[in-house]
Amino acid sequence: MGGQAFAHIVSDTPINVPRMLPDTYNQVASDVKLKLETLFRHVTIPRDAPGKSDFGDIDLLVEGIRDPINNKDIWATVKDVLGAELYVSPHHFGIKHPTIPDAYVQVDVELSPGNDTKDGEELFEWTTFMKSDSDLLQIIGVVHRSLGITCNDKGMHIRVEEVEPYNRKKSMVFLTRDPDQAMDFYGYDKAKYYQGFDSETELFDWATNGRYFHWKVYQDCEENSNDRSRINKRAMFRRFVYKYMPSCGNGTKTSSHTEDDESDTKKAAPSRQEVLQDALLMFGRHKEYNAIISEHKTQGVEEAIWLQINNSISSDNAARGTILKGLKRWVAFKDGHPYVTEQPISTSTKLKWSEHVSNDALPEISSWIAENQEQIGKLEEERANEARKAGMKK
């Protein structure tokens, strides 16, 4: 929080959390890290943005509580171990400044996703990657978003285009949470990443030198509310969007390119389908992808069946909506033939008509609905009236 976590605390004197020069930051960070390593198996300080001249706080990521007894109130234990005099839930601690009297250093300790689970160590490494170099992973995410690649707290995923419009979560095929594998897929220079960046421009150059980066792909990224929020709140992201990208596009060269490089405006922009096939091949995820597509096709058939049923009931029928609800609640199938049930079908056991009705059988089903729709409508209307009366009694 940049040293602002304690700003709202009521105190007789203002709580002073001065920004730290690198020497002070490194001294305190090293001491805090050693103390936290007595409580957690894994402790790291994600790499800061290049060229940072001072620091508002110290951010640490931890995973794997060493002593199970500390699970009961880990943050109280952290507070004691750090000797923190200030604490703001859930993980902001204020310790005495080493050189300035009556001043504090803000220490933020974040418990990694998946702490103490079988995936905990992998998620710790992935989260460290996500949090390093300030806005780097957000920049990578935005410039590749239109190609269907998503990085979140669970790992890197490829989104299935056909499913995404109606269920983004189900559209995602998990690929990896290994930072090296992710960088290999993007086509990034891993040696340079681990060496670190000397400047912000060097970082931006690296982020735009991947296999799939293309000026047109970036332009095709639809700005959304999250982008606008990042632009307003994140200075590095804002500089990337408004200062770096305008000069990176239009065929201009950045410092990491040479005159022999193929201009970004001359090479073809990658397609989303190409990237999908690359991802499935590299990570061996065809089985997961096929399962998503199979479910999608089933849902598509289901929607097509209901579209025809909807169209078979006259829009002039005042009970049309009730009949449609009744068909889903009072009709079951036996050997492919529909019948009216004695009791309503619960929502949890809702039938998929596509499992019982073929395209060839639709005309016969439509005729059956026409013959039975009045009965079905009355059953549903009576059920709804009883439910309303029961609700009123409560």
The confidence band for 217, taking pLDDT boundaries of 50, 70 and 90, is low
The confidence band for 1, taking pLDDT boundaries of 50, 70 and 90, is low
pLDDT tens digits, one per residue of 182-215? 999 999 999 999 999 999 999 999 999 999 988 7
Q: C-alpha dihedral over 176, 127, 209, 271, to 10 degrees? A: 40
The confidence band for 69, taking pLDDT boundaries of 50, 70 and 90, is confident
Mean pLDDT score, 93-116? 95
Mean pLDDT score, 256-271? 57
Give the DSSP letter of residue 103: B
Q: Which range has the worst mean pLDDT, 42-51, 95-104, 118-127, 359-368?
A: 359-368
The confidence band for 389, taking pLDDT boundaries of 50, 70 and 90, is confident
> What is the pLDDT, as a whole number, of residue 241?
86
**DSSP assignment of 296-322, as one string?**
HHHHHHHHHHHHHHHHHS-TT-TTHHH
Mean pLDDT score, 288-299? 91
The confidence band for 346, taking pLDDT boundaries of 50, 70 and 90, is confident
Residue 123 has pLDDT above 50, yes or no: yes
Q: Which range has the worst mean pLDDT, 102-106, 118-122, 349-353?
A: 349-353
CATH 3.40.50.1010 is held by the domain 22-118: no
Q: Which residues pair with 111 in a beta bridge?
A: 62
Residue 285 has pLDDT above 70, yes or no: yes
* For the chain, percent of residues with pLDDT exceeding 70: 91
CA angle at residue 318 from 315 to 322, to 5 degrees?
A: 95
Q: Would you kindly state where each structural domain of the chain is located, as residue ranges?
A: 22-118, 133-284, 309-393
Query: What is the average pLDDT value for the chain, to the nearest integer?
Result: 89
> What is the pLDDT, as a whole number, of residue 253?
42
For strand 337-340 and strand 331-334, is the pairing parallel, antiparallel, or unpaired?
antiparallel
Contacts of 119 (CB under 8 A, 6+ apart): 177
Mean pLDDT score, 256-284? 75
Q: What is residue 191's three-state secondary structure?
A: helix
pLDDT tens digits, one per residue of 129-155? 999 999 999 999 988 998 999 999 999
Q: Which range has the worst mean pLDDT, 216-220, 230-234, 262-266, 318-322?
A: 262-266
> What is the pLDDT, as a whole number, of residue 252?
39
Mean pLDDT score, 343-368? 87
> What is the pLDDT, as a whole number, of residue 350?
81
> What is the pLDDT, as a whole number, of residue 259?
42
Residue 262 has pLDDT above 60, yes or no: no
> What is the pLDDT, as a whole number, of residue 251?
41
Mean pLDDT score, 312-324? 91
The confidence band for 219, taking pLDDT boundaries of 50, 70 and 90, is low
Residue 218 has pLDDT above 70, yes or no: no
pLDDT tens digits, one per residue of 221-238? 556 667 777 888 888 998
Q: C-alpha dihedral over 353, 357, 363, 364, to 10 degrees? A: -100
Q: Rounded CA gap, 227 and 82, in Å?
A: 37
